[in-house]
Amino acid sequence: MKDVSIVVPVYNEAERLRKNIPKIIKEIEKTTKNYELIIAEDGSTDGTDKVAEKLSTEFKNIVHQHYEEKLGRGKALKKALEKSKGEIFIYIDVDLATDLKHLKELIEQINKGYDIVIGSRRIKGAKVERELKRKITTFCYNSLIRCLFRDGIKDHQCGFKAFKREALKKIIDEVEDNKWFWDTEVLVRAKKKGLKIKEIPVEWKEPKNSHESRVNIFADSKEMFFSALKLKIKLFKENRLKRIKKEDTGLRKAEFSKQI
């Protein structure tokens, strides 16, 4: 068993992968040598698979998971969890928008007893550099999620999260989204399960040509908005079904008591 599994999901990020993986290795080895670094390479078409394979031969702790077809961020992370061996499961966006100096704190907070620790760009102490329209979009999105789910989490989508392995396994099969909304759904469901979640302030700088800067901000926001509504409806139905089952069980017990 490893202390830590770090997963880096990638799609068509050959140059960035080549440059940033050694940086992650250098940082994690300040905290532990007993780790694995999984490159979850999601059906890339630009040679990222070849770069990932080469890195896995150069560094003994690297595991390359290649998927022939693009699965989506969420599904790629789920498959990585299935193959991982770490007591702590961490995933980091390959663009390293979040300063790696916070990696040690993710691990320390998990070891202090938290089930999930997430980098946050929305709490006191965070330092963020990004263009205004994306700041506004992120603020509106997180406000919507807090309004819908009342989970108290300030930043759902930062690609810098750590999970206690056993805690994540309790909720992973319930998470249905396979794309970018996965980050939000896993936290909403974790909160609903009563898992202990800690947000830590991070320094975050949006790199040029990052995955966030390349998406269509309006199309992506629309998709995530409908994903949020879909989850809200699903959770409402799940809660209603639980209440019905509980009431039914209570009636059966009462009926049984009368018969006695």
Residues 44, 49, 50: CA angle, nearest 5 degrees: 140
Pairing of strands 160-164, 203-205: unpaired
Cβ contact 5:85 at 8 Å:
yes
Q: How many CA atoms lie within 13 A of 132 on its CB side?
A: 0
Of the candidates 182, 165, 163, the one whose C-alpha atom is nearest the C-alpha of residue 174 is 182
The Cα–Cα gap between 28 and 129 comes to: 24
Which residue of the set 115, 183, 220, 248 is catalytic? Answer: 183
Q: Looking up tokens 């040598």, which residue turns up?
A: 33
Active site residue 248: no
Long-range residue pairs from 224-229, CB within 8 A, at least 24 positions apart, any chain:
224/141, 224/180, 224/181, 224/184, 225/144, 227/177, 227/179, 227/181, 227/184, 227/185, 228/144, 228/145, 228/148, 228/181, 228/184, 229/148
Cβ contact 185:178 at 8 Å:
no
- Hey, which residues are catalytic here? 183
